[in-house]
Amino acid sequence: MNVMNFGKGLLVASGVALFLQGCALGPENIRVNPAFDLPHSLVGGSKPIALSVADAREKKKLGEVGDPNRQMFDVSVNEDPAPAISRSVSRALSSLGYVVEPYRAGDQIPSLTIELQTLKLDSDKRAFDFLTTLRAEVVAHARNGNKTLDQKYQVTQSMNTPGPAYAKDSSKLVNDAVSSALQDMLSDQRLLDTLNN
């Protein structure tokens, strides 16, 4: 064995260990701020759409991160994500040619109600790394006169990290998954047909 290479390997391993120890892991409160782009289109034909978004999750806690052999910390989304989701979806609907209005009971215009139903995070310690997985579920209720569509959109995102997932990692997983679910929803031709017909 080359003593010099062995020494370099020890230095790299020590550096990684020091880096991981230097990053303080603790409870994580993630902010949902989805971002996605849809191509500009006239599919909406300037038709008004009443939009409503709600956080329908049973728990604010998504899961836990940490070393199962030591200490685990909660990962949560405590702030209501509905306003941020509403802004993102409104921009996307506008880019599709719709005129977005706040939902009001009794309105006769087509409506889209969105519920964030699930955000679930799992972090597994493996032999040489951690695998962190985030599952997001969004449900859309589209209504246009007598026509309705109720559809669930589910996305799972995963990340491998040398140590437990820190807040920036958890935040990326959450927002990537929610953004993908919303993009899938607004790219669903069945949903657009329900709103347009």
Which structure tokens are listed for 46?
Answer: 């300037």
Report residue 67's pLDDT band, with 50, 70 and 90 as the boundaries.
confident
User: Average of pLDDT values for 83-105?
Assistant: 95
Query: What 3-state class would DSSP assign to 161?
Result: strand
pLDDT in tens, 17-40: 434 444 678 999 999 999 998 888
Q: What is the pLDDT of residue 23?
A: 60
The answer, yes or no, to whether residue 193 has pLDDT greater than 60, is: yes
Pick among 3.40.640.10, 3.40.50.300, 3.30.160.150, 2.40.160.20: CATH of 36-196: 3.30.160.150
Residue 4 has pLDDT above 50, yes or no: no
- Domain range summary for the chain, segments of one domain joined by +: 36-196
Instruction: Give me the chain's average pLDDT, please.
Output: 88
pLDDT at 13: 42
Give the tens place of pLDDT for each residue, 72-86: 999 999 999 999 999
User: What pLDDT was estimated at residue 40?
Assistant: 86
Task: Give the predicted TM-score (pTM) of the model.
Answer: 0.85
Residue for token pair 């998954």: 177
If DSSP states are collapsed to H, E and C, what string results for 111-172? Answer: EEEEEEEEEEEEEEECCCCEEEEEEEEEEEEEEECCEEEEEEEEEEEEEEECCCCCHHHHHH
Section 38-55 average pLDDT: 92
